Every structure is written in C-alpha cells, then in structure tokens.
Amino acid sequence: MTNIWKAVIILGAFIATAQCLTCRQCPIGIFGTCLFGSDVQCINGTQSCFRGEAQFNATGAFRLQLRGCLDTDLCGTTLTGSILSAGYTTSFQCCTTNLCNGVGSVQLSLTVALGAAMLSFIM
C-alpha cells in the first residue's frame, strides 16, 4: 500500500512540474540585449511571463529591460518610484505560454556590461 502512495506523490509532482510556466528571465537588459539571461520555471502561483521596461525620468533616453515571471494582477500596469532620489517608471506586458517573453541572451562579462551602462549614461 505504501508503494501506491509513493507512486501517487511522485506522479503528482511530475504533473505539477509539467504545468508550471517556463519564462525567459533577464535581470537586466540594455539596448534590447539581455546580459545575464536564463530560462526559469515559475512557481505554481505565477501564471504569466513578462517583459518590462524601466525608464529613468532624469535621463529619459536610458531604459532597462527586464523579463521573468510575474503575478497576473501586475500585468499591464505601470509603477513609479525612486532610487537614490532618481525617479523611474516601470511598465509590464505579459503573456501566458512557455518562453513567450523573449529570445536568447548574450552572456557578457560584468565589466563589459557596466562599461556599456556607463557609456550610455554619459551620452
């Protein structure tokens, strides 16, 4: 009888894993290029992949792109805030199929990524 319960638990774990959404995760993207991207499996409560963009109000032209898993209630929203007294606006667009929020990433070294960010900030 215990073998039957073990089989039910393992089967339930496989079904739960199979139903999880897989999204492209990008903690930071500059100029449309994801710097440290990977594919992640969202937790069961998360039902959407997202593409987000953060625009800093002081520079206007400098934008960061973000990707990952997001709760559905935040989809289509725009949030505002500030970091070190610099205001920003972030918006989120969502989709609900596996890897629907982006393509592969370019793996760059941290030095190159920081250099590109500094160069774009100066310009």
User: For residues 40-62, b (16+ Cβ closer than 10 Å) or e, as one string?
Assistant: bebeeebbbbbbbebebeeeeeb
Average pLDDT over residues 94-109: 72
Q: Which CATH architecture has domain 2-122?
A: Ribbon (2.10)
**Whole-number pLDDT of residue 59:** 63
**The length of the chain, given as a count of residues:** 123
- Express as a percent the part of the chain with pLDDT over 90: 33
Residues 83-96: tens digit of each pLDDT: 888 888 999 999 99
Domain boundaries, given as residue ranges, for the chain: 2-122
Task: Tell me how far apart the alpha carbons of residues 74 and 48 are, in angstroms, rounded to a whole number.
Answer: 10
As a whole number, mean pLDDT of residues 38-56 equals 88
Tell me the pLDDT tens digit for each residue of 51-94.
999 888 766 667 889 999 999 888 999 999 988 888 889 999 99
Q: Is the pLDDT of residue 39 over 50?
A: yes
Q: What is the pLDDT of residue 84?
A: 83
The pTM (predicted TM-score) of the whole model is 0.63
| 73 against 4, higher pLDDT | 73
pLDDT band at 11 (very low <50, low <70, confident <90, very high): very low
CA separation, residue 44 to residues 18, 30, 66 (Å): 10, 29, 21
Q: Calculate the CA dihedral of residues 62, 66, 86, 58 and round it to 10 degrees.
A: 20
- The answer on pLDDT for 98 being more than 50 is yes
